[in-house]
Amino acid sequence: MHNGGVPEEIEREERLHVSATAACRHLAAWWELNARDLPWRFGRTTPWGVLVSEVMSQQTQMSRVVPYWESWMAVWPDAAALAEASTAEVITAWRRLGYPRRALRLQECARVVAEEYANELPHTYEELVALPGVGDYTASAVLSFAFGKRVAVIDTNIRRVLSRVFLGMESRGGTASRTERELAWCVLPEEMPERDASGSSVIWNQAVMELGATVCTAKAPQCGDCPLRGECAFLAAGLPGLGERRTRPRQR
């Protein structure tokens, strides 16, 4: 307890909220001007199309994903269509995206969606994460990007940005820590669309991820171009341990 009896934890959260509010405003303006025009963004595809894009994007460069996603969706626009394809067709269409098991798991997922959910992707985290090949990140991304729900999306890029900006350090390797998950939820904007659409949690998730992929990169962050440089604790501290792999044992 200090400062007239205000618990340190409450004071820390208040400071974090002020910083996150400013970051949200700056990041939304940056997103408006710099968001990559990917074909599954801005409401131009179905929830199934969003899920396909997320599966394809795992460990694969976005420039490679776009043409494959467009070809894939032209042939199999929904889960029912993919469910009826042959294994050979699916593997051939996946081709150079790598990790062909992802394609087979995606088809397994398509069969479940087609048969158990009437060809409509379910809307809850519990149902999504139970689908073949769908983990925490993909389920959260679909809920946010496809259904517009307020949920913290946590991938490598988002972890890096949030850890640097708000904690002043590099994120750890492996899975997200409890601290990182709590931080992601703490800074996630509340939904107030009647006041300011830029405060949307969907825009926040997409913009933080985009920033990590294009500006706040792992080894060579472009801090001079970053809209969050004024709020960034990592930059203020002199980029301590930039690019170092701060690993911890993976949970088995």
Active site residues: 54
Task: List, in order, residues 6 or more apart from 97 with CB less than 8 Å away.
Answer: 56, 60, 64, 65, 68, 103
Question: In Å, how far are 110, 127, 181, 182, 209 from 117, measured between CA atoms?
Answer: 10, 10, 30, 32, 30
Nearest to 171 by CA among 179, 97, 56: 179
For residue 79, the SS3 value is helix
Give the length of the chain.
Answer: 252
Rounded-to-integer distance, Cα 220 and Cα 243, Å: 8
Which of 65-69's residues contact partners 24+ apart within 8 Å by CB, and which partners?
A: 65/97, 66/38, 66/39, 68/93, 68/94, 68/95, 68/97, 69/39, 69/40
Residue 80 tokens read as 């029912």
Tokens found for residue 47: 């929830």
